[in-house]
């Protein structure tokens, strides 16, 4: 039957069915590509390490290829997250508090604003790619760099289209969101950018849309774009910052360690670890809290990334806490807070970066961080133990036979940190290669050792889910760096330092204000840009007040731990929201007690110099 002769309802049903088929094919293709990219990120570093150790040769441009694969995974993962309507929002009153027409209207408004921001980011990214095209740089095998960088504008365009499509199931509302986007775009282009009214009004609209539920990366990217345009600077610096961050040499560890955690979390590892933890600590009140703190601190110490801990271990540790009868709020707060522990333990990468920038001996930084790290870990563990709600009738005595059986059953999972540590600290592999080894090991655990996941049926699903998560996170981190660049260009940190030296004369008051300032920095800046930007300014300032540079460094990193937990863009809040699918305000409420506990720890580290100076004085060269 032809389309002309087909009844309208039947034609519409056939059209909808055909659209679903094409959407399913597109989704399958996207999932396949992101899985292949993640697989290549595992295989290339392993092949590079093997060839380097055996034949003393290397794969040309393998490091650059892996870095740009992160860019592909990030943008494609962001597009998949938009497809699944799982882009993280800082708040979502539109979905949780509004109903009926008001909810539909809020969705149209937020979708329209998000499309506008994505469109401007797409244009800025296009300008960046066109400028790169003139450089005639190549990645490998004759592939120009600009061709890979093209995923930036394509990704933002795909996200914009999917946000518009998901504005409503009704075509009228979708068209309404599109019309709103066009109207706002025209207004922005006509409004003089340098007028103060533009900045205030635009930021006000962005605030309203953020409260109603636009994605977090739209909030940050839109705010940065407004501020840059308000001072007459091009917004192309935002995609440039995004590209710089995503292709950072150490960043591939983020998706690789996360992939390893996803493999174990999607298999039977949580059950085996629950059995082991209960066998060893079930007789203690709050025992799982101790395990959570130790595992998170250790994992963060060798990954150098707090967010990786939550992403990779959250799926393993949350069942442990639930099974120990922790409330959902306490479990969420403990995991989110514990994820920031470990930044003060050697050989955590931020400690090395700080030592290099501040020109402090690395061994002294390592020694100076040990006791403060134990202070923060002990404080968090004590709070977690206090929140334990194990009932008397559920307690059991220690059973050596059960403990040995549980230990043997979880042997492959327990060896995972050993494998990662040996690869990382032996000098045989780079951090990225160590992360690839860890991911391969986790893959073997679930497919070969336990045979819980089929290679062709289950692994692509897990890898695409991991890619979705990584894409959403990298979108936020990339545009956050653009926002950070505005703060630097506006000389806000430098002005804060100048005001401090002119106003504050007491070391005690200086340290208090330093903590407050670093807390704000931790809220707004990713840790590595914060180190690079702030440390050269703070070290001379600390010297004026007689603050030992090692002590100043530990205070700095301890505040960064707190910054991971504080709004508006605390990384652990965003990571937990993603990993456990909870609204950011709910995560914040859950972690507030841990913030108080860690704040006390920061004050102890700040005002008791012996905590940071004793070990460097005793053992430092």
Q: Which of 343, 372, 379 is nearest to 605 (CA)?
A: 372
Please tell me whether residue 138 adopts helix, strand or coil conformation.
strand
Question: What predicted TM-score, i.e. pTM, was given to this entire model?
Answer: 0.76
Q: 603-617: b or e for each residue (b if 16 or more CB lie within 10 Å)?
A: eebbeeeebbbebbe
- For the chain, the C-alpha Rg in angstroms (whole number) is 25
Q: For residue 42, give every residue at least 6 positions away whose Cβ sits within 8 Å of its Cβ, in sequence order, or none.
A: 256, 259, 436, 439, 440, 443
**Half-sphere exposure in the Cβ direction for 247 (13 Å, CA):** 20
Beta-bridged to residue 296, according to DSSP, are: none
What whole-number distance in Å separates Cα of residue 419 and Cα of residue 318? 23
What whole-number distance in Å separates Cα of residue 114 and Cα of residue 128? 21
Q: What is the DSSP string of 189-232?
A: HHS-TTSHHHHHHHHHHHHHHHHHT-BHHHHHHHHHHHHHHHTT
* 57 close to 51: Cβ distance less than 8 angstroms: yes
DSSP-derived secondary structure letter, 452: -
Q: 55-92: b or e for each residue (b if 16 or more CB lie within 10 Å)?
A: eeeeeebbbbbbbbbbbbbbbbbbbbbbbeeebbbbbb
pLDDT on residue 65 = 92
pLDDT on residue 317 = 78
Q: Which residues of the chain have pLDDT under 70?
A: 1-9, 11-12, 15, 90-96, 193-196, 270, 274, 282, 299, 301-309, 311-312, 346-349, 352-353, 389-396, 424-425, 493-494, 496-497, 524-530, 532-533, 568-569, 620-621
pLDDT on residue 101 = 84
pLDDT on residue 394 = 46
pLDDT on residue 247 = 86
**Tens-place pLDDT, residues 528-568:** 656 766 777 788 778 777 888 889 999 998 888 887 787 76
pLDDT on residue 392 = 40
What whole-number distance in Å separates Cα of residue 591 and Cα of residue 613? 30
pLDDT on residue 306 = 56
What whole-number distance in Å separates Cα of residue 397 and Cα of residue 408? 20
- The residues spanned by each domain of the chain are 60-246, 257-455, 490-619
First to last CA, the chain: 87
What whole-number distance in Å separates Cα of residue 492 and Cα of residue 470? 31
Q: Helix 610-619 crosses helix 549-563 at what angle (to 10 degrees)? A: 130
pLDDT on residue 304 = 52
């Amino acid at each position: 039957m032809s389309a002309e002769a087909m009844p309208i309802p039947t034609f519409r049903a056939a059209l909808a069915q055909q659209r679903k088929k094409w959407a399913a094919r597109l989704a399958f293709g996207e999932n396949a590509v992101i899985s292949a990219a993640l697989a290549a990120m595992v295989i290339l570093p392993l092949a590079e390490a093997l060839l380097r150790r055996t034949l003393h040769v290397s794969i040309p441009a393998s490091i650059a290829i892996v870095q740009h694969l992160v860019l592909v995974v990030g943008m494609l993962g962001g597009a998949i997250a938009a497809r699944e309507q799982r882009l993280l929002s800082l708040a979502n009153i539109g979905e949780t508090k509004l109903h009926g027409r008001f909810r539909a209207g809020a969705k149209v408004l937020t979708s329209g604003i998000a499309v506008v921001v994505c469109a401007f980011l797409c244009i800025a990214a296009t300008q960046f790619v066109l400028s790169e095209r003139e450089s005639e740089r190549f990645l490998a095998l004759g592939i120009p760099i600009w061709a890979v960088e093209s995923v930036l504008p394509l990704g933002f365009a795909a996200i914009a289209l999917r946000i518009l499509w998901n504005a409503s199931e009704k075509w009228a509302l979708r068209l309404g969101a599109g019309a709103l986007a066009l109207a706002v775009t025209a207004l922005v282009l006509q409004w003089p950018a340098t007028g103060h009214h533009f900045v205030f009004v635009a930021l006000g609209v962005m605030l309203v849309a953020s409260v109603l539920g636009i994605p977090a990366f739209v909030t940050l990217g839109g705010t940065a774009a407004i501020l840059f345009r308000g001072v007459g600077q091009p917004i192309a610096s935002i995609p440039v910052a995004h590209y710089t961050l995503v292709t950072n040499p150490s960043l591939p560890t983020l998706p690789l360690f996360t992939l390893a955690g996803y493999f174990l979390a999607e298999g039977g590892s949580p059950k085996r670890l629950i059995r082991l933890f209960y066998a060893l600590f079930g007789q203690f009140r709050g025992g799982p809290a101790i395990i959570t703190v130790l595992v998170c601190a250790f994992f963060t110490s060798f990954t150098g990334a707090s967010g990786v801990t939550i992403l990779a271990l959250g799926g393993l540790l949350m069942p442990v806490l639930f099974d120990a009868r922790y409330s959902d709020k306490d479990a969420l707060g403990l995991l989110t807070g514990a994820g920031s522990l470990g930044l003060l333990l050697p050989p955590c990468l931020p400690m090395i970066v700080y030592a290099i920038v501040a020109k402090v001996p690395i061994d002294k930084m390592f020694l100076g961080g040990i006791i403060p790290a134990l202070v923060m870990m002990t404080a968090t563990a004590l709070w977690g133990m206090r929140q334990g709600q194990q009932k008397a009738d559920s307690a059991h005595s220690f059973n050596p036979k059960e403990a040995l059986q549980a230990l043997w059953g979880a042997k492959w999972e327990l060896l995972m940190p050993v494998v990662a540590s040996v690869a990382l600290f032996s000098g045989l592999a780079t951090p990225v290669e160590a992360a690839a080894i860890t991911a391969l090991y986790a893959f073997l655990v679930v497919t070969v050792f336990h045979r819980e996941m089929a290679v062709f049926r289950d692994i692509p699903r897990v890898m695409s889910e991991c890619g979705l998560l990584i894409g959403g996170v990298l979108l936020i981190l990339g545009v956050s760096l653009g926002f950070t660049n505005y703060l630097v260009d506006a000389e806000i940190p430098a002005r804060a330092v100048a005001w401090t030296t002119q106003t504050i004369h007491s070391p005690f008051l200086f340290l208090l204000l330093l903590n407050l300032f670093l807390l704000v920095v931790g809220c707004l800046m990713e840790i590595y840009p914060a180190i690079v930007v702030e440390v050269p300014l703070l070290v001379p300032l600390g010297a004026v007040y007689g603050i030992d540079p090692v002590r100043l460094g530990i205070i700095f990193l301890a505040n960064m731990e707190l910054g991971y937990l504080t709004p508006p863009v605390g990384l652990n809040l965003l990571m937990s929201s993603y990993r456990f699918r909870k609204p950011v305000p709910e995560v914040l409420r859950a972690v507030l007690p841990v913030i108080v506990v860690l704040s006390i720890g920061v004050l102890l580290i700040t005002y008791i110099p012996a905590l940071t100076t004793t070990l460097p004085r005793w053992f430092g060269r």
